[in-house]
Amino acid sequence: MSRRPIVAGNWKMNGTVEATAELINALKAKTLSAVHCDLLIFPPNVFLAQAKTLAGPEMAVGAQDLSEHDSGAYTGEVSAQMLQSLGLKFVLVGHSERRQYHNESNELVAKKALQALQSGITPIVCVGESLEQREAGQVNAVISEQLDAIKSKLSLADLTKIVIAYEPVWAIGTGKTASPEQAQEVHKEIRAWLSEQSEEAANKVRILYGGSVNANNAKELLAQPDIDGGLVGGASLNADSFFDIANAIG
C-alpha cells in the first residue's frame, strides 16, 4: 500500500499575528501543488483561527496540543471539540517538549490521542528516546512502552488512523540529526510493532521523522523506506526551507 508522505511544520511558541500572515502568504506563493506530500502547519493556539482562514486548500492547519478533557473548568486548556469546530483535522500529542516540560505521561498522551480520534481529528503521536536511553541500548524498549500505552486506549480500527512521529529527543533543536540509517532502523522497528498489532496498521500508518530536519538532510532522510515524511521544527518558520523540505520528496 502506498502511503502519502506528510511534511508537518511545528511552529512551537513562535510568531505574531503579522508573522503568521507573512509566513502563510509566503508559503502560498510557492508552487505547493507540485509537492508530493500532504503539507501541514501547526501554529500556536492563538493563531489557529487566523491560520485556518489564510491557508489555502493545499495546506492543512493543526494544533500543537489538546486537553484530555471534554470540557469544563480547566483554565487554559483547549478541547478536541474546540479544534473540531475550527475545522482542524490534525493535532500533535506527546511531543517530547510536552513530555519533558509538562511531565506528560504515556497514559496522558494516550488519553489525548483518544480524545482527538473521538472528534474525527488525526493525532500525530510523538515518540522517542533521550540520549541517555539511546546510549543504554533502551531505544526499542522506550518506544514500545510509549506505543503500548496508545494501544491500551485505542481500538485496533482506531490504531490504523493515527500518525506516528519518531523524534529522538537528543536531536530536537540541537542541530544533531540521526543519520538516515539510524532513523530508518527505528522506523523499521516501529513498523514491526505496528505489524504485531495488524498488517493493516503496518501498511496504513504513516511514520514521520522529527529531529532537526532541514533542507540539507531532508532528501536522504525522506528517501528511507519506512520514513513517510518529516515533523519539522525551526526550519518550518522559513517558507523557503520548509518548501525545500517538502520538495525533497520525489
Kindly list the catalytic residues: 95, 167
| Strand runs labelled E in 1-121 | 6-10, 38-42, 60-63, 90-93
Q: Which residue has the cell 493556539?
A: 45
Burial of 12 per CB tally in 10 Å (0-12, 13-18, 19+)? middle
- Comparing C-alpha atoms, which of 161, 124, 164, 168 is closest to residue 142? 168
State the Cα–Cα distance between residues 186 and 78, nearest whole angstrom.
32
Residue 219 has which C-alpha cell?
A: 532528501
Taking CA atoms, 193 is separated from 39, 50, 144, 151, 163, in Å, by: 26, 38, 7, 11, 14
Residue 185 has which C-alpha cell?
A: 532502523
136: helix, coil or strand? coil
DSSP-assigned letter for residue 164:
E
